[in-house]
């Protein structure tokens, strides 16, 4: 793919670069995207029905087994060329902020410093009854596990449909995106709110918005540049 010279210039001269990432950036690390890649036993389940408080209430064992499967995939995964290119970009643009919808921690493992997690982290846990984060929790083998303090159920500290996003993270994300002069939106289907609104806010503020995705999304008609392809291929080329 040939990167338009205008786009390279725009990135080079950006003073406040923001990045919004979704599951697609981790696809090349072997972490299935949220919507497309349920495999094996899990192919029969709809992920949008599993990632809900209602599903956890009705069948905590099933929901836990799904997360345990995904935790294993994340543990085995390594950051890919796309994550690493963003680390490199941060060296040139120290104010770069990554706002991620991903729960896999791969940006941090790659070495990115300013990462805002909108939807939590699959490797952090909390008590579903008291909402207490269990920092030092030694994962129990029993599924579903119980809180050592109140015996309530433990759950992954991720944001399910119908739940509010962490207030501080959302505020920080809005700030970074509203202040940005260039926003790169990478590997997201742009379907899930409120994250899907963030690029629209950047556009309203006059930022240049660049989308990287092999597929079109509802955002595609609105962006300044749409780079059709895998982020692991395209992002390293943006640095050249």
Stretch that binds ligand BJW, among 38-46, 54-62, 125-133, 191-199 (CB under 6 A): 191-199
Neighbouring-strand partners of residue 17: 182
Is 69 near ligand BJW (CB under 6 A)? no
Is 29 near ligand BJW (CB under 6 A)? no
Please tell me the distance from the alpha carbon of residue 202 to that of residue 198, in angstroms, as a whole number: 6
CA dihedral 236, 237, 239, 240 (to 10 degrees): 130
- The least distance separating ligand BJW from the CB of residue 212, rounded to whole angstroms, comes to 6
Active site residue 224: no
60 burial (CB, 10 Å; 0-12 / 13-18 / 19+) is: middle
User: Which residues inside 149-178 make contact with ligand BJW, applying CB under 6 A?
Assistant: 158-159, 161-164
Residue 182 or 219 with smaller CB distance to ligand BJW: 219
Stretch that binds ligand BJW, among 85-93, 139-147, 199-207, 211-219 (CB under 6 A): 211-219
Please tell me the distance from the alpha carbon of residue 235 to that of residue 240, in angstroms, as a whole number: 9
218 burial (CB, 10 Å; 0-12 / 13-18 / 19+) is: exposed
Out of 13, 119, 146, 224, the active site residue is: 119
Closest-by-Cβ residue to ligand BJW is 24
- The least distance separating ligand BJW from the CB of residue 32, rounded to whole angstroms, comes to 8
User: Which residues inside 103-132 make contact with ligand BJW, applying CB under 6 A?
Assistant: 103, 119
Residue 191 or 222 with smaller CB distance to ligand BJW: 191
- Residue 106 exposure: Cα atoms within 13 Å on the Cβ side: 31
Task: Determine contact, residues 231/24, Cβ cutoff 8 Å.
Answer: yes
Helix axes 231-238, 5-12, angle to 10 degrees: 70
Is 38 near ligand BJW (CB under 6 A)? no
Task: Determine contact, residues 108/115, Cβ cutoff 8 Å.
Answer: yes
Active-site positions read 119
Binding positions for ligand BJW, rule: CB under 6 A? 22-25, 27-28, 33-36, 51, 101, 103, 119, 158-159, 161-164, 187-189, 191-194, 212-215, 217, 230-232
């Amino acid at each position: 793919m040939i990167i338009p010279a205008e786009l390279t210039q725009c990135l080079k001269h950006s003073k406040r670069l923001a990045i919004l990432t979704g599951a697609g950036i981790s696809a090349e690390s072997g972490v299935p995207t949220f919507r497309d890649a349920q495999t094996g036993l899990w192919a029969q389940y709809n992920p949008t029905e599993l990632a809900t408080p209602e599903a956890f209430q009705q069948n905590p064992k099933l929901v836990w087994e799904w997360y345990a499967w995904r935790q294993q995939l994340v543990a085995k995964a390594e950051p890919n060329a796309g994550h690493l290119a963003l680390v490199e970009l941060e060296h040139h643009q120290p104010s770069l902020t990554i706002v991620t919808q991903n729960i896999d921690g791969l940006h941090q493992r790659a070495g990115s410093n300013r990462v805002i997690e909108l939807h939590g982290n699959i490797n952090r846990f909390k008590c579903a009854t008291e909402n207490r984060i269990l920092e030092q929790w030694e994962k129990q083998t029993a599924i579903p596990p119980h809180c050592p303090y109140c015996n309530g159920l433990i759950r992954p500290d991720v944001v399910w449909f119908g739940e509010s996003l962490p207030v501080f993270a959302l505020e920080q994300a809005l700030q970074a995106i509203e202040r940005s002069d260039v926003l790169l939106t990478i590997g997201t289907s742009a379907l899930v709110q409120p994250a899907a609104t963030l690029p629209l806010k950047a556009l309203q503020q006059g930022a240049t918005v660049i989308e990287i995705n092999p597929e079109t999304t509802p955002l595609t008609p609105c962006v300044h540049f749409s780079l059709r392809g895998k982020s692991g291929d395209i992002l390293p080329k943006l640095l050249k």
